[in-house]
Structures are given as structure tokens and as C-alpha cells.
Structure 1
Amino acid sequence: FYGSSGQYTHEFDGDEQFYVDLERKETVWRLPLFSKFAGFDPQGALRNIAVGKHTLNMMIKHS
């Protein structure tokens, strides 16, 4: 359950690699070993969600 804030996940070939815990503002890796080879800034996910919400609100307002 991701809550009312939505979700941000990254998948490869149908398998989830990580998701961003929006409340704790951190990246959660499905396999912790992946975090040694790659990184992801959770602020980027939060930014993308904010832009998406703003765009949706503008489209609703102008329709």
C-alpha cells in the first residue's frame, strides 16, 4: 500500500528493482546488493510526482 501520495517504482524486465518510500523520502532496494552498483536520489521521484500533480491540476482546470 502506497497511500494517497502515489508511488514511484523502477522496474526492469517486469521485476521491481526499487521503489521510493514517499513518507520516509528514501530509496528502498528489493535486493540490497543493487544499491552497491547503482544509486537513485529519491528527491527526483518526489519532484516528478509534484510536476505530474501540477500538470494534472492544470489540465483539469482548463478542460
Structure 2
Amino acid sequence: SYGPSGQYTHEFDGDEEFYVDLGKKETVWRLPMFSTFTSFDPQGALTNIAVTKHNLDILIKRS
């Protein structure tokens, strides 16, 4: 379920590869072995969510 801050997940072919724990600010891999050959900086997810919230606030004010 979504938390109060939303949710950031990355999927491939309909399968979740990882999500970002927004409270802990860390990447959580669906299969831990994925983290041995790739990485994802959770700061990118936090930035995307902040920008999206900002843009949504603007759209709500203009509506």
C-alpha cells in the first residue's frame, strides 16, 4: 500500500525490480542478487517525488 509520501517502484515487464523506502531513504531490491550487478541511488527517487508533488500543487491551484 502507498504511504503518506507516495511510493517509488521500478518495474520491468510487469515485475517489480525494486522500490525505494521513502522513510529510510534506501533502495530495497525484490531479489537481493540484483544489487550485486546494478545499483540505484534513492536520492533520484526522492527528487522525482518532490518535483511531482510541486507540479501537482501548481495544477491543483490552477484548477
Alignment match, 1:10? 10
Q: Which runs of 5+ in 1 are unaligned?
A: none
What is the total number of aligned residue pairs between the two structures? 63
Q: Which runs of 5+ in 2 are unaligned?
A: none
Alignment match, 2:37? 37
Structure 1 runs (4+) deviating above 2 angstroms are none
Shift of 1:32: 0.6
TM-score (norm 2): 0.94
Give me the identity figure in percent.
75
Shift of 1:7: 0.3
CA RMSD, 1 decimal: 0.8
TM-score (norm 1): 0.94
